[in-house]
Amino acid sequence: MTPEARLRLRDKEMIPTILLRAMGTLVACALFITTYAVLTDRPLEAMPVMEGEAPILRERAIIIDADGATGAARVLDTNGTVIADLDPEQGGFIAGVQRALRFERNRMGVEEALPVRLVLFENGQLSLRDDATGWRAELIGFGAKNADSFAKLLN
C-alpha cells in the first residue's frame, strides 16, 4: 500500500461514523424540540414567580438615565426628581441594566424615557419590570451586591 493510500484510509477513519450519526441525531432532536416549542407557543417555564403569585411589598416607578460610555447613572422618579446620581463605580450595574432595557425598547419600538417599575415582593424577590415591552430582570440573579444597588432606590 502506498503512503498516499494509507493517509486516505487514515483520514477516512478519523471520526467514527457512529459518532457523526449520533451528533446529527442530537442536532435534529434539538431542532425538533425548538420548532415544537415555537409553533405551539409554549410558555417560558424557567421564569421566576410572576407578580400574581407573590404579593407586592413595595414598588416604585423610576427612570434610569445612564451614560453607556462611563457607567455613570442617574435615577429619577416619575416627577423628574433625582433619586440617585451615581458615579461610574457606583452606577456601573445600573447603567448595564439600562443598556439592556434600552436595547429591548429599541427592538420593540418603544420610547426610551418611559419609567420602569422596581418591585420588591414579600418573598424578598427584587425585580425590575418594563410594562411597555414585557421585559423584566430578576435582580438577585446578578448577585446580592448588585441587587442591593437597586434596593437602595426603593427607600
**pLDDT mean for each 10 residues of the chain (155 residues):** 78 78 96 94 67 74 76 79 77 80 86 85 84 83 80 80
pLDDT at 5 (0 to 100): 80
| Contact status, residue 146 vs residue 139, Cβ threshold 8 Å | yes
Q: What is the pLDDT of residue 34?
A: 93
What lies within 8 Å, CB to CB, of 81 at 6+ separation is none
The span from the CA of 63 to the CA of 59, in Å, is 13
The C-alpha cell at 76 is 429619577
Confidence at residue 53, expressed as pLDDT on a 0 to 100 scale: 64
Contact status, residue 98 vs residue 64, Cβ threshold 8 Å: yes
The owner of cell 419609567 is 115
pLDDT of residue 33: 94
Question: Are residues 94 and 75 in contact, defined by beta-carbon separation less than 8 angstroms?
Answer: yes
Task: Give yes or no for a contact between 96 and 143, defined as CB atoms under 8 angstroms apart.
Answer: no
Task: Write out the E strands in 1-141.
Answer: 56-66, 73-77, 82-86, 116-121, 126-129, 136-138
Residue 64's DSSP bridge partners are 75
Whether 99 and 37 have beta carbons less than 8 Å apart is answered as no
Number of Cβ atoms within 10 Å of the Cβ of 112: 13
Q: What is the pTM (predicted TM-score) of this model? A: 0.61
Query: Residues 135, 114: contact at Cβ < 8 Å?
Result: no
